[in-house]
Structure 1
Amino acid sequence: MFDPDCYPMFDRRKLLKGALGAGLLASGLPIVASSPVRAQFKQNPFSLGVASGDPAADGFVLWTRLAPEPLEARGGMPSVPITVTWEIATDPDLKQITRSGSEVARIELGHSIHVEVEGLEPARDYFYRFRVGDAESRIGRARTLPAPGVDVAQLRFAAAGCQAWEGGYYTAWRGIADDNLDMVFHYGDYIYEYAFIPMDRYGRALPRLMPKDFPICVTVTDYRRRYALYKSDPDLQAAQASCPFLSSFDDHEVADNWAAETDRNTPADAFLFRRAAAFQAWYEHMPVRRSLMPRGPNLTAYRRFQIGNLANVSVLDTRQYRSKQPCGDGFKPNCAAADDAARTMIGTQQEKWLADGYRSIQATWQVLAQQVLFAHLDWRSYPFVPESEAPVVNLDSWDGANAARDRIMRAWADAQVKNPVVLTGDMHRGVALDLNRDWRDPASACVGVEFLATSISSGGNGSPTLSNAEALHANNPHLKFISDQRGYHRHTVTPDRWQADFRVVDQVSIAGALVSTVKSFVVEAGKPGLSEA
């Protein structure tokens, strides 16, 4: 238990500012001032693969990180800056080079590279690679977005996340790589911050283990090593090389169920140092723009992507600005504090940004790409929740901030948004729900839909059916489907319809298991509500 008398009181913002000035945290300014050098490597410096992300109509971000010994504290790299060259071509063999250049990889950012490419043609594939010394990366595929305002016939993308290393193999990522998609929305829980464990909570063997010297992540070195381990997986590398990613984060990139400046197990002053370390490592390992570079414990991660006149995708941050979970967090009934009008999930500024976008950006589909369950869900009868006559809700989800959800749905109505689609993760279940205008009234009109993607590996093999599914459906008429299997969602979007395929892996306890579609749902434009395909 935290005893506040054991910790001195100080201004945490001044402390963090001082730490930045002292070079204890990266601030975007170089600490090592030596000139870039060309390097030779005895081992592959591109051991973590390549990726593209944050696409626009005229370009995208290209990412890699030099790490010949990826699990070492510095990735096996010297402290000097290293020059890395890159090439972009219009053909997969890189014969038709259209752009090239160089970037400097510095130790302050873990020798990661973020190349922001502009001036390309919209709505087309490009291919890229990196070189350093005599080493050459694999070839990746990126894709630009259609230009704003143009007609778009089709968009194909995946939504995925929650990929605990110990939970199982990343076969779902191989399925995503094989799907030849336009992009991937990664909703978060890219890593888990927990320490090494030799077996699961039931004493059973895990499909694979982390190194024994992996502690709980607290420092930037801890987080860097964790990302390096996860990114060493060949299936994940194949997926990230296959198309651009829209990267976000949930809680485990920092600490379980963290909220704003608070963590259940850490005093606030110490937690902000941990959050700064976590955000730096997240930035170093994601294909995101330099505008997302953290400043100490702060990172502006919400942003939008306009895909012609077909879709407007708003990527939210539901952790950094939220109110602390009410009633002590967890699954509970009768939490009156969840109805407090002052509670928020995304903060006042992000709410305004979202509402402004609804009014100003016209698109057939308005997509809310975020992290935790948006719809109300009564969890009564579920094995790990308390027995109750009253509805039991997850207070870490939007059910912990009911007024905030009401404001988002009111913004839809005010802007006359006809086809809102919410993309979600976190629960390690594949879920499809209708969104009613008034979540308190099951008979109110359906105004949108929500697709909650299951985990890549977190939670182990899972099961096609849930023993309590009948009771869950009885308590939640808007719940159309729920499954406990691992996998991802594949979305095919046209001006007339949205189809979501629930792709599942037979088992994640072995590598290379079968990936198949267990269920597909369709939404017709202008007619909110789910129907089976």
Structure 2
Amino acid sequence: MRPFSKPVSLDRRTLLRGAIGAGLIGALPARATEPSRVVFKSDPFTLGVASGDPAPDGFVLWTRLTPEPLKARGGMSSQPVEVTIEIADDPAMTKIVRTTTETARLELAHSVHAEIDGLAPGRDYFYRFRAGDAESPIGRARTLPAPGDTPAQIRFASAGCQRWEDGYYTAWRAIADDKLDFVFHYGDYIYEYAHTEVTGRDKQPAPRTMPADFPACFTLTDYRRRYALYKTDADLQAAHASCPFLPSFDDHEIANNWAADSDPKHTPADAFLFRRAMALQAWYEHMPVRRAQLPRGPDVRAYRGFRYGSLIDVAVLDTRQYRSRQPCGDGFLAGCAEADEEGRTMLGAAQEQWLAERLKQSPATWQVLAQQVLFAQFDWRGFPFVKETEAPIVDVDTWNGATAGRARVTAMLEAAKIANPVVLTGDLHRALALELRRDWRDPASPCIGVEFLATSISSVGDGPATDKDRATMMRNNPHLKFFSDQRGYTRHVVTPAQWQADYRAVDSTATPGQPVRTAQTLVVEAGRPGLIPR
């Protein structure tokens, strides 16, 4: 008689994850139908094209076939469709260097994720898709520099937070015109809220609205339609076609301020994880990411790294899936002892270990932590929606809600002897530039790095804070070197000698085509942490 094996302990959430994953896999057909040539009655490339997640020898090329983008299936039948991808040396597509095919299937919303390899490092390529008799716009992609190479300069943008109703995507058109090496999208690509005619805290008429039949997102169809609407924007399409994206996600891709297996409404875990699974599948279907980022039920491996030769190492982090739930009930709070508990985390143990190992192995001049929420300590007193108190006000949805997790990351940077740490952030719909301190309890603690927080593309619309508000925040946060309440993005120009951040501001998002200007430029000199205004 064989001895009994050791029993396996499975908690309810592990079983639930397995069930969700099995359910999604079980939904796929047992035998795939062969793709056939189709004839489209209208343009199937209504959502544009994109490249992303580059490597020294290639990148991902993305599109989705949607002749009727806002319909449940994008106007497509259940039939698989063969899609041809052409890659060229020149923008006119006269020198084709690679032709390949992919099959677009209903199960993934007829999206295409073509992982291209075998190309030369550190150079531009151009691409287009063909399906039936239809041809897509031409996009520009770019491979990473060869390992060990030191580019003379890398130019990229950090951007995100683009709620449809809050304004037009003028900033994305400016990003497209910049002709950058890449874009880091920190998240809030979509917002899950239902249709509304008004926006902002003062409930003013929205500059533009979603269709009236757009409810709050809960189902896969809801999330797919929401991405499709956002991607119909011509300015966003132009930005995607202009250079590779490094996509991430924050909270609104699923639900406002979600954390790990829960949302602020305390939805039961079984219901929330099903919603999360639907949302993450739709995220994958609409992002130029690799098959390694294909979700397994409600889980996805979103953290990953990119090396731009020996100049920049980018660690794209995930501050939502593995974090501790927000302490003290969430929000902007005056005092929250729970936030300082030792066991609290923003990254989870596995991601922290991955980051520590990556930092130790990084040969780059500049080490970038590309993530979603404010890393630095920050006192929000003085901002209009925050009540005036004697005690500092902190937002516990940020790293201020898990100070022990922040201390562990700071210790990693020091242990790896990282000379030039740069944190990229978003989420707050304001532009901030901050110096990072070794010990936030000591105002005289030395600067160990910098944080550039990009404002929103459109979210919260126009309406800057007053000079009085700004002065109060500057006084309460001596490490804060720049603050703006305008919409826009941050453009970064990086060389071996310095890092330059240009805070780009849109005059107004209420009407399209408004001017975009540089509101402030700050510089960091390599080997000398600290922000220098220019």
Normalising by the smaller structure, the TM-score range is over 0.9
> For residues 452-491 of structure 1, what are the structure 2 equivalents within 5 Å?
452-463=453-464, 465-491=466-492
Q: CA deviation at 1:464?
A: 7.1
After alignment, is 77-86 or 385-394 more displaced? Answer: 385-394
Once the two structures are superposed, what CA deviation does each residue of 1:326-370 show, in whole Å capped at 9, x if it has no partner? 000000011001110100000011111111111112110000000
Once the two structures are superposed, what CA deviation does each residue of 1:231-250 show, in whole Å capped at 9, x if it has no partner? 00000000000000000000
- Match for residue 197 of structure 1? 196
| Identity over aligned pairs, percent | 64
Once the two structures are superposed, what CA deviation does each residue of 1:104-133 show, in whole Å capped at 9, x if it has no partner? 001110100000000100000000000000
Secondary structure of the residue aligned to 2:522 is strand
> For residues 169-208 of structure 1, what are the structure 2 equivalents within 5 Å?
169-200=168-199, 201-208=201-208
Equivalent AA in structure 2 for residue 42 of structure 1: K
- Match for residue 48 of structure 1? 47
> For residues 311-390 of structure 1, what are the structure 2 equivalents within 5 Å?
311-390=312-391
1:274 & 1:235 partners in 2: Cα distance? 29
Equivalent AA in structure 1 for residue 176 of structure 2: A
Q: CA deviation at 1:385?
A: 2.1
1:518 & 1:31 partners in 2: Cα distance? 56
1:15 & 1:313 partners in 2: Cα distance? 33
Is the aligned partner of 1:125 residue 2:100? no
Secondary structure of the residue aligned to 2:203 is coil
Alignment RMSD (CA, Å): 1.3
Once the two structures are superposed, what CA deviation does each residue of 1:373-419 show, in whole Å capped at 9, x if it has no partner? 00000111222223321111000000000011111111111111000
Secondary structure of the residue aligned to 2:411 is helix
Is the aligned partner of 1:144 residue 2:156? no
Asked if the contact 2:369–2:422 (Cα under 8 Å) also holds between the matched residues in 1, the reply is yes
Q: CA deviation at 1:33?
A: 2.2
Equivalent AA in structure 2 for residue 228 of structure 1: A
2:358 & 2:20 partners in 1: Cα distance? 36
2:327 & 2:67 partners in 1: Cα distance? 45
- Residues 361 and 27 (structure 1), Cα distance of their counterparts in 2 relative to 1, 3 Å cut: farther
Is the aligned partner of 1:264 residue 2:272? no
Once the two structures are superposed, what CA deviation does each residue of 1:188-231 show, in whole Å capped at 9, x if it has no partner? 00000000011125332110000000000000100000000000
Equivalent AA in structure 2 for residue 310 of structure 1: L
Equivalent AA in structure 1 for residue 454 of structure 2: A
Q: TM-score, normalised by structure 2?
A: 0.96
Equivalent AA in structure 2 for residue 240 of structure 1: H
Q: TM-score, normalised by structure 1?
A: 0.96
Secondary structure of the residue aligned to 1:86 is strand
- Residues 463 and 382 (structure 1), Cα distance of their counterparts in 2 relative to 1, 3 Å cut: closer
Asked if the contact 2:383–2:465 (Cα under 8 Å) also holds between the matched residues in 1, the reply is no
1:49 & 1:383 partners in 2: Cα distance? 39
1:14 & 1:478 partners in 2: Cα distance? 46
Equivalent AA in structure 2 for residue 151 of structure 1: T
- Residues 20 and 343 (structure 1), Cα distance of their counterparts in 2 relative to 1, 3 Å cut: closer
2:176 & 2:467 partners in 1: Cα distance? 29
1:40 & 1:373 partners in 2: Cα distance? 49
Equivalent AA in structure 2 for residue 225 of structure 1: R
> For residues 46-195 of structure 1, what are the structure 2 equivalents within 5 Å?
46-195=45-194
Asked if the contact 1:26–1:280 (Cα under 8 Å) also holds between the matched residues in 2, the reply is no
1:28 & 1:290 partners in 2: Cα distance? 18
- Residues 28 and 532 (structure 1), Cα distance of their counterparts in 2 relative to 1, 3 Å cut: farther
Asked if the contact 2:21–2:298 (Cα under 8 Å) also holds between the matched residues in 1, the reply is no
2:44 & 2:377 partners in 1: Cα distance? 47
Equivalent AA in structure 1 for residue 96 of structure 2: I
- Residues 304 and 20 (structure 1), Cα distance of their counterparts in 2 relative to 1, 3 Å cut: closer
Q: How many residues align?
A: 522
- Match for residue 4 of structure 1? none
After alignment, is 232-241 or 379-388 more displaced? Answer: 379-388
2:463 & 2:163 partners in 1: Cα distance? 14
Q: CA deviation at 1:268?
A: 1.4
* Unmatched tracts of structure 2, length 5 or more: 1-10
Equivalent AA in structure 2 for residue 471 of structure 1: T
2:378 & 2:20 partners in 1: Cα distance? 43
2:98 & 2:61 partners in 1: Cα distance? 12
Q: CA deviation at 1:251?
A: 0.2
Secondary structure of the residue aligned to 1:409 is helix
Asked if the contact 1:173–1:236 (Cα under 8 Å) also holds between the matched residues in 2, the reply is yes
- Match for residue 409 of structure 1? 410
- Residues 463 and 258 (structure 1), Cα distance of their counterparts in 2 relative to 1, 3 Å cut: same
2:511 & 2:311 partners in 1: Cα distance? 39
Q: CA deviation at 1:30?
A: 4.5
Asked if the contact 1:27–1:294 (Cα under 8 Å) also holds between the matched residues in 2, the reply is no
- Match for residue 228 of structure 1? 228
> For residues 284-303 of structure 1, what are the structure 2 equivalents within 5 Å?
284-303=285-304
After alignment, is 183-192 or 352-361 more displaced? Answer: 352-361
2:66 & 2:222 partners in 1: Cα distance? 15
Secondary structure of the residue aligned to 1:408 is helix
Asked if the contact 1:162–1:428 (Cα under 8 Å) also holds between the matched residues in 2, the reply is yes
Equivalent AA in structure 2 for residue 334 of structure 1: G
